[in-house]
Structures are given as C-alpha cells and as structure tokens.
C-alpha cells in the first residue's frame, strides 16, 4: 500500500565516522531543525548535547514503579499477616515495617525494574516494526558501521532543496528521499 | 572552582621535570586495532555460521547429563523427599548446598553487568553478555532445589502470596519467604536487564539476516530497534537505572540467602559476618565460572582480540581479592568463635576443622584460600590453561564451603545425643550432577542463537567511536 500514497517522509544522509556525525549533528541542531534524528551503531558519547536533546524521562517511570512496589509490599504483608490471618509469633506485633522489610525491598526493586524496562519502550514508542527508514536499502548498515541523519518532512523548516543542500554541506553522502 | 581551573591552565611547575611522573597508558580493550565493522562481523558470525560439530557434540553430551536431573527429580516426586539423604538432624543437605552454590555463581554476572557498569569499568563489555546469561541459567539451576525440597512440588505455588482454598497466607517473618521474593525478583530483573541490553544487537542480527526465520525471529525480538539516537538516549538511561537497581538487588539476594542461616540459632550459623561473607564468596565463585566458560569460548571462536590478556588479568585479580576476603572471613569466624567465649560456637568451629567433616573443610580451605593466591603471579595469569584449572578449584571449593556450613552445623549442634552424619544418596548425586548438563545446554543454546557479546557496547569502547577523535585508531 505504501506506493499508492507515497508521501515524502524525509531526507536521509549517511556518514562514515563518529566525529563526522557528531559535528554534522551540531550543524543540523544549529540550523534549527526539530523533527530530525541521528542513527548510530552505538551510543555516541555527547550526541544528546549535539542534538540538543533534553534529559530522558525514563527515571519517572522508575520512580513510579518503585513507589508502587514498596506500597504493594506494605499492603500485601499487612493484609495477609496483620489483618486477614493474624498469627502470634513470639509475642511480636502482627504487622510492622521491620519483619517484612526484605519483601518490601525486593518488591520495590522488582517494580522499579519493570517501570524502567517498560518506561524505555514507552518513551521510545517501541515496538514499532515498520518505519520508513527500514525501506532505505543501506539502512541495515546503521547497526554495523554507518551513521545516518534523517530530517523529517514534518519539520516546519523542511524544504526539499535547502535541507538537501544542508545535508550535503555538512558532509552527508547518498542523500536519499524516504517515502512514508 | 574558577581558581582551580586557572591552576590547571598555568604552565606546569618545574618540579614535574625533576620527579618525571609516568603517564600510565591504559591497555586497549580491543586488540589489533579492529574496526567497527569487524566487531559486528566477528560476533554475528558466531550465530550465523553453520552449526559447528563441536557444538552438536557438546550439546548432546550436555542434554544427556541433564537427563540425570530429570531422573533424580522423577524419582523424588514419584517416591517422596525421603529418597534424598536427608534425615534428622540434617534436614538441609545437598538441596540447600546446591541452591546456594548455583545462586552464588549467578552473582558474578550481575556484578559485571551492574556494579562494574556503575564503576565505569569498561573492560566489562566483552564478558558482560555471557556473564549475564550465566546468571540467568545458574538461577534456573538453583531454583530446582528448593522447589523440589518442598516435597509436594505441586503445592510450590503456596510460596507465593496467592489466595488458596485453605485461606492461609505465606508467613512474611520467615527468611525462607524472603528468599522466595529475593530469588524470584533476582531472576526477573536479570532477565529484563539481559534482554534490554541485547535489543540493539538483536537489531544488528536482524539487519544481517538472509533467511526468513531469522528475519522473523530476530525481528520480533529486536522490537523494531533502529539505532536512533532519540532511542539510545532513553535506552542508556534505562540501562544505567537497571544497573543501579541491580546493584542493591544482587547484594540483597545473597544477604537474604545468608539470612536463611544467620537468622537461626544454630552455632556456626548465627553470625553477623554471614551477609558480606556470602556476597564475597558468591562473586568469587561466579568469576571462577565466568572464566571457566569464557576461556574455552575464546579459544574456540578466536576471540583473543576482544577478550584480551587485560580482561583475564582483571578477572583473576577480582578472584584474588574476593578469595582473600573469603579467607579473611574464615579466619574471622574462628577468631570470633574463640573471642565470643560461647562453648557451642567454639566447638562448632573446632569441629569443622578437626571433626568428622574435616576432609570437607580442608578441601574448602585449600581450594578457596590457597589456590586463588596463585593469581599474584603474572606468569600464572598469562597461562589460560592454568587459570582455567585454578577456576575449577574455585568452583569446587565454593561448593564445599556451602557443604561445610550447612552440614557441619546441623550434624553436631548442642546435644551429642542428637548428633548425626549426613551422606547423600544416589538420587542427590544424580540431581546435582544433571544440573551441570542443564546449565551447559542452556549456555550452548545461548552461544548459538544470541549475540555472545554486546556488539554496540564493544564498538563504543574503541577509539574510532570517540566523537572528538578522528574516527580511527590513530
């Protein structure tokens, strides 16, 4: 169906080395583009700054997960050992924060880990098994040794001619038009 | 702050010429100036090449060995726990020994993936993935023992806080219940961490896939990963957070395992040294197992450029450090037993060293305290065969440590009239022996189907990945 309404998605250009892509990304950022992305076979150190990205929001999911886990632990241990089936053990209180603490601790970590894991997927909008970049014949090299910059059609600054010129000027090779 | 910065920018004082400070060069983490593409090829080829003959031979042997566990467990379930060598006063025999042994082995994987990540030890990258896989498979082996030790294994779900027809709940005061939470959390978080770390590499395998089943298999697992930097940003943050969560987790798991013993009142168990001593021992045995697995793989797949002598040195030094900690703990236990002036405690330790289980104690001491000391010598660390053999001793020694702790304290406690002597039965031996096959079979499947090393992370530690360099090794 893709070829029926082949709207342009954006322009993609390839780069050879990590320093090249790092410098190029800074130029795209300074040119004021917002809807664009960099593809690298490994996380390039400092690239977030070069792209002008803010801090990741994954820690929020971790915090929510951790708090949920801790209070889930409090709730189940209190309900099971202190409320629904209280047992006297050594004359100790039916429930306190002390004796089930290992359980609360483990559940905090468990839920925080789930929060982090799913937070990563939610923040990245993954899984997304189809994406226009996958139609680019050379894109499978993005996981090998080639670097790419994609500037999307949606970007308010996007202009087929000027954007192509910018990508070529900053050292991009094989500037290609991707279709949606 | 500005003053400090000014100082740095000043010309270097004349004294520096006289004292001539040496600038320490860090050894490269990848040898022979390998390119980024070479790393992709090297690691993906392990999965993509036709299945080698050695793999089939090892896999079949491993599955045959694993069948011993199956026989042992079938025997146990169809007859009862009495077929194990457990009898009063020793009701925690090989089952708990094997459980602690396997859980401990897992701990090195988490140490490498989480603690060394937080400490920015970049040499961890090449061994990280395999060590995490080892963790997961070791925890699988460990879980078998307490699961079947409950006797009626079909009621094992009572361990979890699930409503049942008896309207009773787990008792959260019990260290054994803490163990249920600690070990199941450990397993789950280890799997999440392992899988998340693998996603970019699964993407690399998907991008190279030629056959349809590979495209589908790796495609589904890679979750549509496209190496976008907007994704890397969240991914790296999540990775760091999981490392930060796994660190207190791994320390808590073996601490809670040690509570199984330390929260009792038995002489030789009721000591505060147990949590740190167990954690050090776990890391010690786990690194032993990492080297036991990685040295043959390094030789078979020619991974000498990725697992360099520097990596082996680092691991040997950790074994040396944790082995020394374990040795210190043995000595300190003895000292406190004497200094505490409790006759039962004193007896428990003298009995360990000179009683009916003295043979096990001295195997433990020679394997755990003496053998790692050989790693002080460079020529030993540089001989992979010797390193491999010493790691074998470490594994044996750490199994005996758990045996000594568990069995000696139970066999000879307060009342001589209730003393006993424990021997395993053939069913115990079958069940334990088989877990090595089970573990090896799982590990071989991992080697064959999943990326053995973190491809993206390895690339990132080579000089061409430095955005401020010139994109090459020079």
Tell me the pLDDT tens digit for each residue of B259-301. 999 999 999 999 899 999 999 999 999 999 999 999 999 999 9
In CATH, the number for domain B2-465 is: 1.20.1630.10
**Which residues of chain A does CATH 3.30.70 include?**
8-47+132-179
Does residue A135 belong to the interface with chain B, where contact is any CB pair within 8 Å? Answer: no
In this prediction, residues A112-118 reach a mean pLDDT of 97
Helix (H) or strand (E) holding A27: helix A18-30
Reference B285, options B98, B453, B410, B454; nearest CA is B98
In this prediction, residues B376-380 reach a mean pLDDT of 96
Q: Do B123 and B29 touch, CB atoms closer than 8 A?
A: yes
What pLDDT, on a 0 to 100 scale, did the predictor assign at position B343?
93
Closest residue in chain B to residue A53, using alpha carbons only? B230
How far apart CA B36 and CA B123 sit, in angstroms, is: 17
Question: Is B224 within 8 Å of A46 when comparing Cβ atoms?
Answer: no
Does residue B288 belong to the interface with chain A, where contact is any CB pair within 8 Å? Answer: no
For B53, B118, B333, B444, the CA distances from B254, given in Å and listed in that order, are: 39, 20, 18, 27
What pLDDT, on a 0 to 100 scale, did the predictor assign at position A161?
92
Mean pLDDT across chain B:
92
One-letter-per-residue 3-state SS of B407-471 = HHHHHCCCCHHHCCCCCCCHHHHHHHHHHHHHHHHHHHHHHHHCCCCCHHHHHHCCHHHCCCCCC
Tell me the pLDDT tens digit for each residue of A56-80. 999 999 999 999 999 999 999 999 9
Count the alpha carbons within 13 Å of B228 in the hemisphere toward its beta carbon. 23
CATH architecture of the domain with residue range A8-47+132-179: 2-Layer Sandwich (3.30)
Tell me the pLDDT tens digit for each residue of B189-227. 999 999 999 999 999 999 999 999 999 999 999 999 999
What pLDDT, on a 0 to 100 scale, did the predictor assign at position A4?
56
- Would you say residue B4 has pLDDT above 60? no
How far apart CA B420 and CA B88 sit, in angstroms, is: 7
Number of residues that this document lists for chain A: 180
Question: Is A113 within 8 Å of B248 when comparing Cβ atoms?
Answer: no
Domain boundaries, chain B: 2-465
- Report A:34-93 residues touching B (Cβ under 8 A): 37-48, 50-51, 53, 55-59, 62, 76-77, 80-81, 84-85, 87, 89, 92
User: Which chain B residues contact residue A102 at CB under 8 A?
Assistant: 175, 178, 181-182, 252, 256, 259
């Amino acid at each position: 169906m893709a070829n029926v309404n082949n709207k342009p998605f954006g322009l993609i250009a390839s780069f050879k080395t990590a320093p090249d892509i790092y410098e190029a990304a800074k130029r795209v950022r300074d040119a004021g583009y917002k809807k664009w992305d960099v593809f690298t076979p490994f996380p390039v150190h400092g690239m977030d700054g070069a792209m002008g990205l803010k801090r990741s929001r994954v820690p929020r999911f971790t915090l929510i997960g951790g708090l949920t886990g801790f209070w889930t632990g409090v709730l189940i241990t209190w309900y099971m050992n202190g409320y629904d089936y209280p047992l006297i053990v050594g004359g100790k209180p039916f429930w306190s924060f002390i004796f089930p603490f290992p359980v609360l601790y483990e559940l905090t970590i468990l839920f925080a880990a789930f929060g982090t894991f799913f937070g990563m997927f939610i923040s990245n909008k993954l899984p997304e098994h189809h994406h226009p970049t996958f139609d680019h014949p050379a894109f499978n090299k993005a996981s090998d040794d080639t670097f790419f910059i994609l500037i999307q059609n949606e970007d308010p600054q996007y202009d087929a001619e000027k954007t192509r010129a910018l990508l070529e000027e900053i050292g991009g090779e094989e500037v290609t038009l991707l279709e949606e | 702050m500005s003053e400090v910065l000014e100082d740095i920018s000043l010309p270097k004082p004349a004294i520096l010429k006289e004292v001539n400070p040496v600038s320490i060069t860090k050894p490269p983490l990848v040898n022979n100036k390998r390119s980024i593409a070479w790393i992709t090829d090297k690691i993906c080829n392990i999965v993509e090449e036709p299945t080698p003959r050695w793999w089939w031979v090892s896999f079949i042997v491993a599955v045959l060995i694993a069948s011993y566990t199956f026989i042992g467990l079938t025997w146990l379930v169809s007859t009862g726990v009495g077929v194990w060598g457990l009898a009063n006063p020793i009701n925690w025999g090989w089952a708990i020994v094997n459980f602690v042994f396997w859980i401990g082995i897992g701990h090195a994987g988490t140490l490498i993936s989480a603690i060394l990540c937080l400490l920015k030890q970049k040499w961890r990258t090449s061994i990280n993935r395999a060590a995490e896989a080892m963790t997961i498979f070791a925890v699988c082996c460990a879980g078998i023992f307490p699961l079947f030790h409950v006797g009626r294994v079909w009621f094992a779900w009572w361990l979890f806080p699930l409503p049942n027809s008896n309207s009773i709940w787990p008792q959260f005061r019990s260290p054994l219940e803490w163990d249920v939470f600690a070990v199941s959390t450990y397993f789950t978080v280890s799997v999440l961490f392992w899988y998340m770390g693998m996603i970019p590499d699964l993407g690399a395998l998907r991008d190279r896939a030629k056959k349809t089943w590979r495209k589908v298999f790796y495609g589904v697992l890679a979750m549509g990963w496209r190496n976008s930097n907007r994704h890397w940003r969240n991914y790296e943050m999540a990775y760091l957070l999981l490392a930060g969560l796994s660190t207190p987790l791994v320390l808590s798991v073996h601490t809670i395992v040690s509570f199984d013993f330390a929260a009792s009142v038995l002489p030789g168990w009721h000591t505060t040294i147990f949590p740190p001593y167990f954690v050090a021992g776990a890391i010690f045995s786990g690194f032993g197992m990492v080297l036991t697995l990685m040295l043959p793989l390094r030789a078979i797949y020619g991974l000498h450029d990725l697992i360099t002598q520097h990596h082996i040195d680092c691991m040997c030094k950790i074994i040396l450090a944790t082995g020394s900690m374990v040795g210190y703990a043995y000595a300190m236990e003895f000292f406190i037993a004497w200094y505490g002036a409790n006759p039962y405690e004193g007896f428990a330790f003298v009995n360990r060293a000179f009683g009916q289980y003295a043979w096990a104690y001295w195997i433990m001491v020679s394997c755990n305290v003496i053998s790692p000391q050989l790693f002080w010598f460079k020529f030993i660390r540089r001989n992979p065969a010797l390193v491999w053999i010493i790691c074998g001793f470490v594994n044996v020694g750490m199994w005996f440590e758990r045996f000594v702790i568990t069995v000696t304290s139970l066999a000879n406690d307060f009342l001589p009239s209730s003393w006993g002597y424990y021997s395993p039965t053939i069913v115990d031996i079958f069940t334990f022996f088989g877990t090595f096959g089970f573990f090896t079979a799982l590990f071989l499947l991992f080697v064959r189907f999943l990326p053995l090393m973190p491809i993206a992370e390895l690339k990132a530690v080579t000089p061409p990945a430095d955005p401020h360099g010139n994109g090459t090794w020079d």
